[in-house]
Structure 1
Amino acid sequence: MSVTPYGFARTPEKGLARLHWADNGWAVDGRPPDVPALRSLRGLEIEWPEAEVPELALDGLLRLAAAGIPLTAHRAVPWIPDDLAALLTDRAWLDHAPDGTARCLADLRREEHSVLLRRLAHPTPAAEISIVMSTKRPGLVGAALAQMERQRDVAAEVLLGLHGVAFDQVRAAVESCALPVKWVEAEARVPFGEVLNRAAALASGDYLAKWDDDDWYGPRHLADLFMALTYAEADVVGTTAEFFYLEPLRATIRRTTFASGAGYPSEVWSDHVAGGTIMMSLAKFREIGGFPGICRAVDLELLKAAHRAGARIYRTHGLGYVLRRGLSDEHTWRLPLGHFLKVAANQWRGFRPSLLMEAA
């Protein structure tokens, strides 16, 4: 299916429009649907035809769903598959009206609905994915492995780089993990990127996905990345770095712009993706030369190397990912907490991820 969510607009400029059947096809206010023109709408309200329609009517709806256009209906008709009917008639996302406040959920609930429709319209086979993670914090390994176990619609293995950590410190967590786990031990003085490379050398999957030990991932994180890699026909894919949990403040923020004020959209071609979400084929990873063998900014330099090699890098939605941020010296990405408050489009008390995280 050539239609994709590319160009999805997080904040619509207009309200709902009417999608109706006109002679031989769907129409929006009397005209055939034009996806770029529909991006500014909050969504489409389906008006079902009274007479029987050809099979291509369902294809037309699936094309709009594949484009990420939010679709809704008060009821479903018999020829709509049950899974699509359930999404179309779930109108909870419309309960939230835009109000311009930092706690407003209207745009978020709309985008969640869009992602659910995309998943239905872009079915993909279960990819074989090698998850690579380096850690200096044995206490976080169990929780990280548990999140990997929750991944749906993929066949995953874990490649664990123990960075100054003895295997005995994580043995219980590894041996209780239902996924295949391979590991390497490296001394603390070994550069972070080199530890990742040693772990990645054990990969047997078709794709390699980077994972950070202290962040949260939804159960469809990997499947959504592979879906985006497939429909975009990209070489490298990652998500937005959009949701942050600020531990010292016990607050969750969502950013939709850069600090400069420039937009930070998803569903675009961009070499700026969240480092803890980078995915590519194992062949492309080896072609690029692997992770740079440095101590910091490993993800950034990997993306730069991919860009120099001519790789097509795509940024998809970040609703299935939450970055944890504590004091700035605790992370390889050093930014003060004030930076995240400055770029926050939304701010909520406590841990408030997207519903797509399914309470990760």
Structure 2
Amino acid sequence: MAWTLRGGRDRQRDSAAPPAQEAAAPRRPVNDLFRGLAGTTLVLVTDPEAVPLLPKDPTALDARVVHLWEHDLPDEWEVGVEPGWSSVLLVTMDRSTLRRAAAELPDTGPVTEVGVWLVGARDVAVVVPRPEWTPVRRLEVQQLERPGRGVSMVFGFVRTVRSRRVLQEVAVQAVQSSRRERSGLVTAYAGRRPAPGLDLRAAILTDPTAAVDPERVVPPDVVVAGPSLAGTELTEHHVLGRAPVVVTDPGLDPVDELVFTPRGWRREPPHPVVDLAELTGPAGVTEQTVKRARGHRAVRLDLGTTPTADLLKLTMAGIPTLVTGSDPRLAPELSELLAAAPELDDTLVRDAWSVKLRRATFDHHSTLAWRDGLAGRAGAARLRTGPAGLPGLSVLLATKREHELEGAVARVAAQVGAEIELVVATHGFTADKARLTEILGREPVLLAFDDDVLFGDVLTGAAQAASYDVVMKMDDDDWYSPHAAHDLLMARRFSGADVVGFPAEFVHLAEHDETIRRNHASECWTTFVAGGSLTLSRDLLREVGWFRPVRRWVDGQLLSMVIASGGTVYRTHGLDYVLMRHTHGHTWDGDPDGFRADGTVDRTWQGFRPPEEGL
């Protein structure tokens, strides 16, 4: 196909159109989206499933449609050459396809308007323009209808911009995260599409030998190539001092865990088990599919007819999934869970199975785990992190109760799926380091503070002595499952929140010797989590002034400071934690009967009864 160049002036938007940010309308016809874009519009479609939702006659709307899976646009536009369009509109299904396509977008030359149309989305989101961009004169976000659907976002600029940079920033900001996608591993792709998840530095090569082009200033560590290129070996690149590794058998593509998350989990959905075919269309499992699935007790599918990628999107999001058939490429742990589906009438059993499914999927099929595996194959040991690509965690254990210390250390020693450092801060007594080392299996960091030191200062001393970038506050008497540390790190990854923690969903009331489960919402944004589970970065802790120097309510003080500074708090599931409510010895007060207020209790058990279904 031959592209004509633009001559003369662009067809300009009506000068009466309001500048800057326009008021939101209830819904806007799709054709109006096309008509409202400046000049001729280049429409980039990422997936065949989105094509039927385009206007029937795009040319009548002064639009040219290009399919990204078969285009011949240049990777870089020649300097001084202007394209035959003034605006670019990217049409894609949802955030997952947007983030996958971001790395393979071609250059479209200088344009004045850039838009994104998510045809399978319902939620409107606004992207914050980057400070180095040309000033934005118009930012319009709209829900759409007839003949298509979804939501759109359009940026109008004072001067021309390169659409690729704008669209990639939209992909970056499409997920809620206070931490941008950062990885030291540089990848390239040859003979196949990029893997899901955002990797904006990934080079798309027609030939893997292009990875060692002497002119390439950022050569890849790994070239992920199609099976036909098996056995390809590359020469050394002068920048790397080594040859990039060609991988043609990376396994199943990962799932973008920042898009398909457990957020919005429903403990008691109103609808029965449903066949996946009743929830999906030609595009397979999308974000909207997952939202619809949350209203059902479980989803049923056959791997003989359903792409395995669709299964993984469901299980990553924690959807209970009843499967027939198998795929040998699935992680054995996940396959075993799917083959042993429990009865799902009991909400606790259903909750626990969902947690196990999402945990196994995250550990073996997330982008973190996938990239960590590639780093290992490339011999880039320094780029590898902890299990499943998770960061290391420093557990802060501050205690005044010497009789609780050994049990608390044993609970840390039992943690699995995370690389953990234990920092013990004794408050008013000195611990036996040899005994704690025996229980833990390695030496803890051991600090001792006088009895009159404020509790907040004790915790600050522990945090400042920690080695890892992420810290978790653990209470000495509460119960934690062996997966507690892992699941908090997992929630921190998929939520992107500044602080994550558990709900105080399970409580053991010593006064009554009973365990209660409360109707606490989980997998949601919040302003409060259990203090014995606060997990956040040391950088954030430092920025808010560490733990406040107080004797009581240290957890609430920290959460208040984080929220006041614009930070976010996420509450994950509650099956890893039991709050132990004694008659005395807490740094907070509260009536034990307040835990049993009418309408707040889901069920009760006599005695101490941890939710071991979650193990």
Q: Please give the TM-score of this superposition, normalised by the length of structure 2.
A: 0.51
**1:1-360 → structure 2 map (5 Å cutoff):** 1=256, 2-20=259-277, 26=284, 34-49=289-304, 57-73=307-323, 75-79=324-328, 81=330, 82-94=332-344, 97=345, 106-123=346-363, 124-168=388-432, 172-256=435-519, 264-327=520-583, 329-342=584-597, 343-356=600-613, 358=615
Compared CA separation, residues 330 and 64, structure 1 to 2 (3 A):
same
Q: Of the two, which has the highest radius of gyration?
A: 2
Q: Deviations over 1:326-359 (max 9, x none)?
A: 21x331222222112223211012222212554x
**What is the distance in 2 between the residues matched to 1:23 and 1:269?**
30
Specify which structure has the bigger relative contact order, considering alpha-carbon pairs within 8 angstroms and separated by 6 or more residues. 1
The 3-state SS of whatever aligns with 2:319 is coil
1:116 shift after superposition: 0.9
1:33 shift after superposition: 6.0
Q: Alignment identity in percent?
A: 34
Compared CA separation, residues 209 and 32, structure 1 to 2 (3 A):
closer
**What is the distance in 2 between the residues matched to 1:154 and 1:295?**
31
1:248 shift after superposition: 3.0
1:172 shift after superposition: 2.4
Compared CA separation, residues 179 and 289, structure 1 to 2 (3 A):
farther
Q: Deviations over 1:83-125 (max 9, x none)?
A: 322222222242xx3xxxxxxxx11111111111111222332
Structure richer in helix, relative to its length: 1
The 3-state SS of whatever aligns with 2:392 is strand
Compared CA separation, residues 133 and 23, structure 1 to 2 (3 A):
closer
Paired residues of 2:320 and 2:350 also in contact (CA < 8 A):
yes
The 3-state SS of whatever aligns with 1:346 is strand
The one-letter code sitting in structure 1 at the alignment partner of 2:586 is H
**What is the distance in 2 between the residues matched to 1:203 and 1:44?**
43
**What is the distance in 2 between the residues matched to 1:244 and 1:285?**
28
Paired residues of 2:529 and 2:571 also in contact (CA < 8 A):
yes
Compared CA separation, residues 23 and 274, structure 1 to 2 (3 A):
closer
Q: Deviations over 1:30-63 (max 9, x none)?
A: x9962222212111122454x6x6xxx1111100
Compared CA separation, residues 193 and 37, structure 1 to 2 (3 A):
same
Paired residues of 1:157 and 1:179 also in contact (CA < 8 A):
no
**What is the distance in 2 between the residues matched to 1:356 and 1:200?**
32
Q: Deviations over 1:177-196 (max 9, x none)?
A: 21331122212121111111
**What is the distance in 2 between the residues matched to 1:131 and 1:173?**
14
TM-align CA RMSD: 2.2
What 5-or-longer segments of structure 2 have no aligned partner?
Answer: 1-255, 364-387
**What is the distance in 2 between the residues matched to 1:19 and 1:252?**
37
Number of equivalent positions: 330
Paired residues of 2:409 and 2:439 also in contact (CA < 8 A):
no
Paired residues of 2:355 and 2:614 also in contact (CA < 8 A):
no
Compared CA separation, residues 235 and 345, structure 1 to 2 (3 A):
same
The one-letter code sitting in structure 2 at the alignment partner of 1:255 is R
Compared CA separation, residues 25 and 248, structure 1 to 2 (3 A):
same
